[in-house]
Amino acid sequence: MTSFKTLTLAASAAALLSVSAQAAEIKVGSAGGVTGPIAELVAAIMAGRQTAADHINENGGLLGGDTLSLVIADSACDPKAAVDAGNKLVNVEQVVAIIGPSCSGATNGMVSSVTIPAGVTVLSDSATAPAISELDDKDTVFRASASDSFQGAAIAEIVWNAGHRKVAMTYSNDDYNAGIAAVFEKEFKAKGGEITANQGHEPNKASYRAELSTLAQGNPDALALFAYYGSSGITIIKNSLENGLFGKFYAADGMFDVSVIEQIGADVLRDNIWITQAASDTEDASYQAFAEAFTATGKDPEAPYAAHGYDVAFLMALAIEKAGSADRAAIPAALRAVASPPGEIIRPGEWAKAKKLIADGQDINYEGAAGKNDFDERGDVTGLFSLNVVGEDGSWSRTLLK
């Protein structure tokens, strides 16, 4: 005969199992430069990722109702820190996949040393160095932002169209800045332009006056500056202006931040600085869906790579749902399947719709806030860029490049 105590224990165990089932989570690593030279920029990217996770968890969760848990790790825009972050995520936290890291050097470091050997998929929202395309990654490294092969060419076109035929250039010695600088140099020379001087520089120096004095020789029209605003970029512009060495500057999105205007001055920079940045088509329905949701959280949807941050989290969740489990090995094929035609279009926020279509065996095609994510054989996508100048109101003014 079963005792009351036995029944009570059985009921308690059943209740605990129920609670455990309800509380199950699927971990995805969220690596980013939480500290480092672009920490302010990365904060918006991380917020974009979390907004996507919230949409997923509020609309049925993953698989049988599991919670998507983003496990944050600080890659600090540094290869060594990224390897440490990757080891923690892969071997300690046992994540199924990783979104991020933010910076190209950090991404190269993490994937080469940790994730590729472990067979863990990485989907970055903002690592854009051309070298990432050349990795022997066993189809585990993807990105939702375009390679700087495109952005470097866009900057060369802008400089050339501005009438400049002779420019000096300097770049920070890291994967992202060196990579885009190389593309710019190649494309500008191909147009017939002259690079009067080309120097790499180390980040975080107190002064770059000596380097700039050398770069200014040869009477260049402008300085092409490839650096992070928080490590060397702002200092280089200040030193240039203070010493009358350069007055016009062209840069990529590593220099795009409000602090550039705040620390140098809108009146000084107006008509003297041009910065490209990965962008979204603000008229597109997917971007507008994201922008409405992100604005509701108190954040700026136009913050650099915030839309890309949303997309990588949503895409990775769709891949897990498509795979039908948290099996690391199943993620790459599933990611490609949910990101490209054919299939019914899914936009930001449409998690419940996507979940049902996948359950019914239907194909889906996620068209993101930052654009389409039709991965090529290297895991790359195309993308849009904007040109940013200082407007009359003292803030950045953007024009979409088409």
pLDDT over threshold 80, residue 188: yes
The arithmetic mean of pLDDT across residues 298-315, rounded, is 97
Residue 223 included in any domain = yes
pLDDT of residue 23: 52
DSSP state of 89: I
Task: Count H helices and E strands in the chain, helices first.
Answer: 15, 15
Share of the chain above pLDDT 70, in %: 94
Asked if residue 137 and residue 165 are part of one domain, the reply reads: no
| pLDDT tens column, 68-102 | 999 999 999 999 999 999 999 999 999 999 999 99
The number of distinct structural domains making up the chain is 2
Mean pLDDT in the chain? 94
Residue 15 included in any domain = no
Asked if residue 196 and residue 334 are part of one domain, the reply reads: no
Range of the domain at 266: 149-280+385-401
pLDDT class for 126, splitting at 50, 70, 90?
Answer: very high
Instruction: Give the chain's length.
Output: 402
Asked if residue 291 and residue 260 are part of one domain, the reply reads: no
pTM as predicted: 0.90
Asked if residue 141 and residue 60 are part of one domain, the reply reads: yes
pLDDT over threshold 50, residue 18: no
pLDDT over threshold 80, residue 12: no
- The C-alpha atoms of residue 190 and residue 67 are separated, in whole angstroms, by 51
pLDDT over threshold 90, residue 287: yes
Asked if residue 162 and residue 245 are part of one domain, the reply reads: yes
The dihedral over CA atoms of 294, 300, 304, 309, expressed in degrees to the nearest 10, equals: -20
Residue 17 included in any domain = no
pLDDT over threshold 50, residue 304: yes
Residue 65 included in any domain = yes
pLDDT class for 402, splitting at 50, 70, 90?
Answer: confident
Asked if residue 339 and residue 227 are part of one domain, the reply reads: no
**Structure tokens given for 99:** 């979104």
The closest of 78, 76, 130 to 105, measured between CA atoms, is 78
Asked if residue 108 and residue 196 are part of one domain, the reply reads: no
pLDDT over threshold 90, residue 10: no
Helix (H, G, I), strand (E, B) or coil at 375: coil
Measured CA angle at 44 (ends 228, 370), to 5 deg: 90
Asked if residue 346 and residue 275 are part of one domain, the reply reads: no
Residue 3 included in any domain = no
pLDDT over threshold 80, residue 7: no
| pLDDT tens column, 215-260 | 999 999 999 999 999 999 999 999 999 999 999 999 999 999 999 9
| pLDDT tens column, 358-395 | 999 999 999 999 999 999 999 999 999 999 999 999 99
Asked if residue 274 and residue 163 are part of one domain, the reply reads: yes
CATH number of the domain enclosing 58: 3.40.50.2300
- The C-alpha atoms of residue 307 and residue 299 are separated, in whole angstroms, by 11
Residue 2 included in any domain = no
Asked if residue 98 and residue 50 are part of one domain, the reply reads: yes
Write the DSSP assignment of 293-349 as a string of letters.
Answer: HHHHTT--TTSTTHHHHHHHHHHHHHHHHHHTS--GGGHHHHHHHHHSSSSEEE-TT
Question: Which residues have C-beta within 8 Å of that of residue 16, sequence separation ≥ 6?
Answer: none
pLDDT of residue 15: 37
Question: Beta strand 222-226 with 273-279: parallel, antiparallel or unpaired?
Answer: unpaired
pLDDT over threshold 60, residue 289: yes
pLDDT of residue 13: 40
Asked if residue 339 and residue 225 are part of one domain, the reply reads: no
pLDDT over threshold 80, residue 297: yes
* Edge-to-edge order in the sheet of strand 273-279: 194-201, 166-172, 222-226, 249-251, 273-279, 384-390, 396-401
- The C-alpha atoms of residue 291 and residue 203 are separated, in whole angstroms, by 34
Give the burial string for 58-67 (b: 16+ CB within 10 Å, else e): eebbbbeebe
DSSP alpha helix (H) spans, 1-38:
4-22
pLDDT class for 117, splitting at 50, 70, 90?
Answer: very high
The arithmetic mean of pLDDT across residues 141-151, rounded, is 96
pLDDT of residue 2: 38
Residue 346 included in any domain = yes
Residue 251 included in any domain = yes
- The C-alpha atoms of residue 146 and residue 375 are separated, in whole angstroms, by 10
Asked if residue 153 and residue 118 are part of one domain, the reply reads: no
Share of the chain above pLDDT 90, in %: 94
pLDDT of residue 301: 97
Contact assessment for residue 106 and residue 86, using Cβ atoms and an 8 Å cutoff: no
